[in-house]
Structure 1
């Protein structure tokens, strides 16, 4: 059984026109909106290509998303990005009613 791609419909507040973000781009947008000022990291919200999702949301949809470089320790110390959405967005339809349709 083939599942349909989830499409998120959103708009920039206060009076932006609705736009559609398909698949993982909509997934990333929903995570950014839900995270609020705290923002998202690939560690907290695992996804294969966060940088690509953020790039497209910036370039194709004109959203303002801040990238913060954060250091982390542990067995594999290094750094990761935290993405924080600054554009005020309303999710009109998260596509959840089409999962597995």
Structure 2
């Protein structure tokens, strides 16, 4: 029941924003990363920010995989991998650039 409400909220968010699931995953990953980085003192170089983003991506996909298994009868593993990569890619790029000092200033 709780998961059904979360899925309904996600559907409403997609409908309200007009964005695809891929775009929502990208924005969610960036928002989570920036919020945690802002709270943590090392900011964009924060290991905690990237770890929280990765953990959050996997937790969301565990719930999506569970919904697939119970709703469809099978798990769409490539869709799950695609969603995880969407959520992690840009935060990781920003973290790596800040961590390895690709830019100065």
Sort the TM-score into its range (normalised by shorter chain): 0.3 to 0.5
So what's the TM-score if we normalise by structure 2?
A: 0.32
User: Between Structure 1 and Structure 2, which shows a larger proportion of helix residues?
Assistant: 2
Q: In proportion to residue count, which structure has more strand?
A: 1
Larger radius of gyration, structure 1 or 2? 2
Compare relative contact order (CA 8 Å, sep 6+) and give the higher one, 1 or 2.
1
